[in-house]
Structure 1
Amino acid sequence: MKKLAMYATVVMFMAGCSNKVTISKIDEPFDSFYDQFHSDIDFQLSRVQFPLGGELVSIDGGEPWTKEDWEPHLQKVTDISDPEYDTEIIRKDEEVIDKVWLRDSGFSIERRFEKIKGKWYLVYYQTVNL
């Protein structure tokens, strides 16, 4: 009987010590991502989803964005204060679009950020300079 009680105690102890893996889904806040995206170049490159939708459009045609030719984005749309530029930010649960344009000039920028598996990524970048 003592052996049976000891065996039961050992089995219960081992069952309580099993490795438990819990995965929690933590959604990254967009504002924190946006600040880091514009201040940390390595982070920015890790969060641009190449091949990137959109292109650089000029009178000579269009050119796609590549990782090799990427120029860091250091200016947040929210920080543009020049009154000649108009800005717009459209926020949805899984997508944020920011736009900048110079009135009556043929110049505009549009970027789209999407939340993918809880993290934000730049998935589209269009610059028009005609």
Structure 2
Amino acid sequence: MLFSTALLGTVLTGAVDAQNSACGSSTNVFGGPSQCVGTSQNNALSCNAIPANPSHRMSLSSAMAVEISATANGGSGQPSLMIVGPDGCFYAIATRSGGMAKIPGLWSSGEHAIYVGDVNGAASAYTLSITQD
């Protein structure tokens, strides 16, 4: 039982650090540190063409299960989401306008760059959510 408690404390601490890092000081944080709003980069993203600067960053002190999603605000936009980290590059797109791009996974410890774009190349408002699974 002692092992379970120690492990849970590590996971929760890592999740809080990851969420605060992803939100950063240049975004508006609401409803707790796990959600941020922003404007997508003008180009659609892919793992073959990584933009110069990430939209957000997530730093994990230990491996943990986390779901990262980008949802279009206001019913328009078709978000693309790309995460580049120690385990490689992962990419997802929303399948419809106003939809959600979502990447759940077991993320390794270390720095993860999060890029939010738009499939149509538009600068669209989005909400980024980071949730510990």
TM-score (norm 1): 0.28
Higher fraction of strand:
2
Higher relative contact order (CA closer than 8 Å, sequence separation 6+): 2
Higher fraction of helix:
1
TM-score (norm 2): 0.28
